[in-house]
Amino acid sequence: MPAQTKPQRQKVMRKGWTPPLWVNVAFGASMLVLGVTFTVLPQRGMSTQNKLLLLVAYCVVAGFYLVRAYRQFRKRREAG
């Protein structure tokens, strides 16, 4: 009876350009600052609900880039 072998995982190649760590951190932090700034500053004709929705959208985009930067940081740390 042959020994069962575990299937080998293949690395998934990502398409496109991946920005460096500092670009992801800078973009994520700036999106967070801009979102808070737009929420705090008074704007004519914009309801509080729309402001909060905009803040959430900015936080989601900022979170995406900050998580991406954290993953790059962890990967670089593991490599050496």
Model confidence, pTM: 0.75
Evaluate whether residue 6 is within a structural domain. no
User: How many domains, in total, are found in the chain?
Assistant: 1
Residue 2: the pLDDT is 60
Inform me whether the pLDDT recorded for 22 exceeds 80.
yes
Evaluate whether residue 11 is within a structural domain. no
Q: What is the dihedral of CA 19, 22, 28, 31, to 10 degrees?
A: -100
Evaluate whether residue 73 is within a structural domain. yes
Evaluate whether residue 41 is within a structural domain. yes
Residue 16: the pLDDT is 85
Evaluate whether residue 16 is within a structural domain. no
What's the domain range around 47?
A: 21-79
pLDDT 10s digits, 32-48: 999 999 999 988 888 99
Evaluate whether residue 66 is within a structural domain. yes
Residue by residue, DSSP assigns 8-61 as PPPPPPPPS----HHHHHHHHHHHHHHHHHHHHS--TT--HHHHHHHHHHHHHH
Evaluate whether residue 3 is within a structural domain. no
Residue 80: the pLDDT is 72
CA distance 35 to 23: 18
